[in-house]
Amino acid sequence: ILNVEQSPQSLHVQEGDSTNFTCSFPSSNFYALHWYRWETAKSPEALFVMTLNGDEKKKGQISATLNTKEGYSYLYIKGSQPEDSATYLCAFTTGNQFYFGTGTSLTVIP
């Protein structure tokens, strides 16, 4: 079983603050790294799929970077809004199975 770790476990920020979380994964047998956004009472939705070392992806005010050599990815949210409140999951894949972290729960306080 591969270990995917996310930190912090939870985060409370004020509206307008920028924030970032970390996903750590094994640096061997890397195929892709996924980020998902999971709102309460909904199902996870894909944010990014990252495959190359040094990849940087952006969607609105959310961006992510990838370092496959050291096995980590950062997710950044610039100017958090209350609607950004959700659990952010990362998933490491070897090309077959997906190994999910336990997520970072973000609460943005208005």
Residues that bind other proteins (CB under 8 A): 31-32, 34, 36, 42-46, 49, 51, 89, 91, 95-103
Q: Tokens for 52, please give them.
A: 């190359």
Residue pair 1/98 in contact by the 8 Å Cβ criterion: no
13 vs 49, which CB is nearer to other proteins?
Answer: 49
- Work out the number of other CB atoms within 10 angstroms of the CB of residue 71: 18
15 vs 39, which CB is nearer to other proteins?
Answer: 39
CB of 52 to other proteins, least distance (A): 11
CB of 46 to other proteins, least distance (A): 3
Q: How far apart are CA 27 and CA 30, in angstroms?
A: 6
CB of 16 to other proteins, least distance (A): 29
* Structure-token match 């949210």, residue found: 77
